[in-house]
Structure formats: C-alpha cells, structure tokens
Amino acid sequence: MKEKRNAPLAEAKPKKQKNSASPSKPKNAPKKTTSQPVNGKRVNSQNKTTGNKKRVLGAPKSNNKRVKRAPLPKLKIYSLGGLNEIGKNMTAFECGEDIIIVDCGIGFPNDDMLGVDLVIPDFTHIQNNIEKVRGVFLTHGHEDHIGSLPYFLKNMNVPVYGTRLTLGILENKLAEHKLLQNAKLHNVSVGDTVLAGCFKIEFIRVNHSIAEACALAITTPQGVIVHTGDFKLDTTPIDGEMMDIVRLGQLGREGVLMLLCESTNVERSGHTPSEKNVGVSLEKIFMGATDKRIIIATFASNVHRVQQIIDASINHGRKVAITGRSMVNVVNAAVRLGYMNVPEGVLIDIDEIKKYPAHKLTIVTTGSQGEPMSALYRMAFSDHDKVQLTDKDLVVLSSSAIPGNEPLVGKIVNEMYRRGVNVYHDSSVEVHVSGHACQEELKLMHALIKPKYFMPVHGEYRHLIQHKELAERMGMDPQNIFVSDIGKVIEIDEDGARFNGTVPAGKVLIDGSGIGDVGNIVLRDRKNLSESGLIIAVATVSIKEGILMAGPEIISRGFVYVRENEELMSATKEVTTSAIIHALEAGVDDWGELKNIIKNAISKFIFTKTKRKPIILPILMDL
C-alpha cells in the first residue's frame, strides 16, 4: 500500500528553544508550516485567508513580546454518541464558522427497546448548523462508525472523506438507501491531509480489525487534536502495515492540544495479540479436521481474518464458499479493490458445494453474533437452503460476542451441539483476537502523543473512568482530563479548556423504515404488550343517536387463555357495556373521548382483578 508522507512534516522546523524550555507554556501552539498538504482538498474556498501564515501562536498572556491580536475563535468539541454507551460514535469539532464531524455510527437497541432495529444519534444540532458543516471524516468502515451515515446524508448531503475500503463498504449501504448517486464521497489515502474550513485533517494509519483504519490529526486554530479512532498495535499485521507510531510520536513532539482516545479494552492488561496468531490457530484446526467440512463465522468486515481463512483453505486443498449477504458484499468489494488476494478457482458459489466432499470445503459465513436470520443462525436451525449441519461439520466462531449478544450466541451454539456439530467458540483456541488496544497499547499512545488535555471516548462510563485513571497514572493532571457525555460541550481557547453548556443529543430509534417515529410511548406499549398482552374491545355505536348498537366483543391476545377465564372475559364485557351506555347517556359524542372512557374502564377493572396492565385497544364502528 503506497503511503504519501505529508509534506509539511519533512520541512517542519525544530521547535523554538524558548518555547520548549518553559514547561508552563502550553504546547498547543499551532506549528508554523510553510508548505501545503499533499492531495488536500480545499472544501471552503472563502476560508483561504485563514491559512497558516495568519495563525497566531496560542501563547499565554504573560508573553508581552507578542503583539496583541483579536482572540482566535474558540474550539468546541462535543460527541453526539459513543460516550457512556457502546456504538453510534460521532464527534463534532466546531470553530468559528466551521464544523467537521468525525464518524457517524449506529448503536444497537437495548433489551428494553422492543422491536427497534437500530439506534442513531440525534442530529438536531448539526441540522440547525448545517451551513457550517464542512464534511464528515471517517476513521474506518465499522458499523459503529459509518452506520448512521445513510440517515444523516438523506437530509444533509455534505462531503464524506474516508479511505478506499471504508468508502467501498459505505457505498453498498448508500446504494441500498438509493443515496449513492448524489453522495459526495472523497477517497483519501493513508497519510493524506484534507483542508476543511479552518481545519486540517491528516489520516494516520493504525491497526484494527478492519483494513485501512485511521487515526486523525486535526489541526485547529487552537492547536492539534488527535482522535485515535479504533486501534490496536499489531507489529506483525497481515498487510504488513503497522500503526504509524513514528508520525504519532512526531505530532506529540510538536505539541498536541488534546487526545481523544478509544477505551474499549481499557480493562484488559497487557497487549492485544496480533491477528497473525489467529492464522496459527486456524492452521492447527485445519490440520486436525481432515475429514470434516469447516464452517467459519466471523465479522464480514474483518478482511484480514477472511484472508487468513482463505489462505488456510488453500494450504489444505479446500475450496471456499461465502454465504451471508454482508459477507458476500464485503468479500466482493475487498477483492475488487485489491485488499484480498484470492487465486483463481478458490472461491466457489454456495450452489456448487454439493460437488465437493466435506473435507475439500470451507464455508465462510456471517452470524458470529448469533443474529437471528443470519446465515449461521439459519444453518443452526435447519433453515438454510444450501447448508445443512451434521456431525460431519466443524464450526468455528471466529469472533467474541459483543456485550449483550452472549445469549444469542449461546442459543446458536447449543442448537449446533444438539446436531452433533463440533463447535470451537471460546478462547481455549485462539480463533479470535480483539481489534482494540489493551492497557499497554493505550499507554503507548499516551506516551507518544503527550497531550495537554485528554478525553477518553468509545466506551461505557466505567471504561471512560478507568481510562482517566490510566492517564493519571502516567502523570496527567486530573484537571486536564475530560470525562464527558453525549451533548456536553468542551470549549478550548487561549485560557484553557472547560465544559461549557450542552447541545441536543440522544437516541433516535429506527424501526424498519421509520426514522425516529418510535418514541417512549410506543416502546412502553410494546413492553406492556410483550409482558401483559392485549385486550381488544369492539363495539358498534350510533353516536348521533347515543345508542350502543352491537357488542361489545372482548378479544384477548397474549393476556389470558380465554377458555380458562371465561368469567373474567364476560365480566369485562359487562364493565365495557355499562361504560359505553353511561357515556352515551351523559352525552359523550366524541370518538376519542368515548374510546378513552372504554380504555380506562377496562384497564381499571382488569388491574383490580389481575394486577396486570395489558394494552387496551377499543375499536368503535359507526353505524
């Protein structure tokens, strides 16, 4: 993979002695550079005048040699997702008339969000300031970083910047939402810098469980911010491209104002093992399974993992079939874009697997998280039209369950054991390594960047706090660490950094194709429905004449088994009848009001009898 080195670095002058000698001076002063970024894209031409030359060093007030100039615009940093939660990562940087956004991911619903498919960030603040938005910058192609973009771009078609693989995966999604044609996607090579308003964004290589993941160094008028994205340090990476620790160290030496660092694995000591370790384990598994068909489930986006599975298959004379929509999509994109090396004739169509004996086949599938309807789920429950599992199969779950998914994964594994399938799914065999930095790698990042301020990101509250403690152990001033929350604004100017105010932030729930139409009331109804069932009261009423013409009929679903509770049902019917008659006699002539009266009467009665609160649905027909 070619890597363009950013020109300004090569010419960066050593720091002025005067500056570095005094520890009291902030190291957030933007460095004067003389050359322009390589391959940069100027997004906002009217901002040309705020180029490097005009920038004022962010020196303390005591520096009386410096001519007093108008204060630089304040830098505001706020996350709309990814703090105190897993997923929907999204952080905005706002300075003067410019906003840039880093990532735009989805979250997954909690157990109490029944029937909700996805959770996206609340975009209100961005929407209200859309004329300032210069672009969305993507660190990598994982769902929790790019998944909300179709919903974002639908209303706010701003430029999107990312590496080739990231945009390749995004393109599939945008095509599904019919947004691809008008999308403004800009390919960025690792090492490139992009200009966007008063910001300068440099893409720096990191290792992660997807190829071409990047950290971003964002030069702002107040100083340089480093956002790590998701990362680990892999010294033996599959594509030979190690995290660019040299560049990160260089930035640290030049002075970084703030570090935003991911916190996923902060609870784990040591180092995250190299992806190569999985290759070694796979080799062992393949050697020991000479008479079996091997089925491996992993994340579709883990291109290097799939490559290693294909390599092991080739070594053992197996053909490889791919199943699961996202797996087929990603493998096709990765082969097309040159991220995967697959010799001719190795990949076969899933329809062709019958032509080959079990020991000559590997099947790579989605469903490693136990997702219902995924290919592996359908195999486990005999619902896959091409693959039936038997005791001739060895299944490898090359993944670890995302928090919350454990029961789903357990369900699938049990079902496969029931079919006599041999399953490898835990750490007794190293069939999975994490893509996130453990403590030692986090410490390395802090040591390289040496930021003035630090904000832990990408984690639940306990992760953020433990990351704060890690930074303190490394000598950081606790006052300079910002454990933030979504919507909270961190403001930075020449006088320092502080929390100052909030912007709207929260969860927008996506249910099928509806965006944000699932509110708390709908969720409460669904919860009641699943726990307490439903009672429907159907009646025909002439509201003009104030007469109950027919009914009410009482129908229940999921509430009580009617045959055993005929008494309760007929008593409910009586209560409903008298409620309707009383209301009509009292002159109620509004449908809504009448429905409410019926609802309340039934609800009160059922609760006194059963202590349960089913959903009550009155259906009134006019004559």
Q: How far is the CB of 209 from Zn ion (least distance, A)?
A: 6
Closer CB to Zn ion, residue 94 or residue 230? 230
- CA dist 365 and 353 (Å) reads 14
CB of 140 to Zn ion, least distance (A): 6
Asked, as a colleague might, if the bond just before 221 is cis with ω within 30 of 0, I would say no
Within 10 A of 206 (CB to CB), how many other CB atoms are there? 30
Based on CB atoms, which residue is closest to Zn ion, 169 or 174? Answer: 169
Handedness of CA 53, 132, 162, 93 (dihedral sign): positive
Which residue, 98 or 144, is less far from Zn ion as judged by CB? 144
* Token output for 554: 């009482």
What part of residues 537-556 is at the interface with Zn ion (CB under 5 A)? none
Stretch near Zn ion under the rule CB under 5 A, chosen from 118-126, 139-147, 197-205, 349-357? 139-147
Q: Which of residues 562-601 bind Zn ion (CB under 5 A)?
A: none
d(CA 163, CA 173): 16
Report, in Å, the least distance between residue 464 CB and Zn ion: 14
Nearer to Zn ion, 263 or 556 (CB): 263
Residue 279 β-bridge partners: none
Quick one: which segment of 141-149, 314-322, 360-368, 394-402 binds Zn ion (CB under 5 A)? 141-149
Cβ 144 to Zn ion shortest distance, Å:
4
144 binds Zn ion (CB under 5 A): yes
Question: What torsion do the CA atoms of 514, 517, 523, 525 make, to the nearest 10 degrees?
Answer: -100
Using the minimum distance from each CB to Zn ion, give the nearer residue, 467 or 599: 467
What backbone phi and psi angles, to 5 degrees, belong to 141? -90, 20
Shortest Å distance, C-beta 82 to Zn ion: 8
Q: What's the gap between Cα 460 and its chain centre?
A: 13
Report the phi/psi class of residue 137: left, alpha or beta, with left for phi > 0 and alpha for psi in -120 to 50: beta
- Does residue number 305 form part of the binding site for Zn ion (CB under 5 A)? no
Rounded to a whole number of angstroms, the minimum distance from the CB of residue 371 to Zn ion is 18
Residue 139 CB, shortest distance to Zn ion, in Å, is 8
Name which of 230 and 491 has its Cβ closer to Zn ion.
230
Q: Report CA torsion sign: 472, 478, 483, 487.
A: negative
Task: Give whichever of 223 and 456 is closer to Zn ion, judged by the CB atom.
Answer: 456
Buried b (16+ CB within 10 A) or exposed e, 269-308: eebbbbbebbbebbeebbeebeebbbbbbbbbbbbbbbbb
Total residues interacting with Zn ion, rule: CB under 5 A: 3
Please give the full DSSP string across 541-608, using - where no structure is assigned. EETTTTEEEEEEEEEEESS--GGGGHHHHHHHHHHHHHHHHHHHHTT---HHHHHHHHHHHHHHHHHH
Among residues 27, 142, 446, 488, which is the contact residue for Zn ion, using CB under 5 A? 142
Of 57-65, 136-144, 578-586, 610-618, the segment contacting Zn ion by CB under 5 A is 136-144
Dist CA 29 CA 77 (whole Å): 18
Q: Which is nearer to Zn ion, 140 or 384 (CB)?
A: 140
Window 218-257: contact mask with Zn ion (x via CB under 5 A): ------------x---------------------------
Nearer to Zn ion (CB atom), residue 76 or residue 208: 208
Strands 534-542 and 615-622: parallel
- Report, in Å, the least distance between residue 324 CB and Zn ion: 19
Work out how close the CB of 280 gets to Zn ion at its nearest, in angstroms, rounded to a whole number.
Answer: 23
Per-residue HEC secondary structure of 329-351 comes to HHHHHHHHCCCCCCCCCCEECHH
Contacts to Zn ion from residues 253-292, by CB under 5 A:
none
Q: Which spans of this chain sit near Zn ion (rule: CB under 5 A)?
A: 142, 144, 230
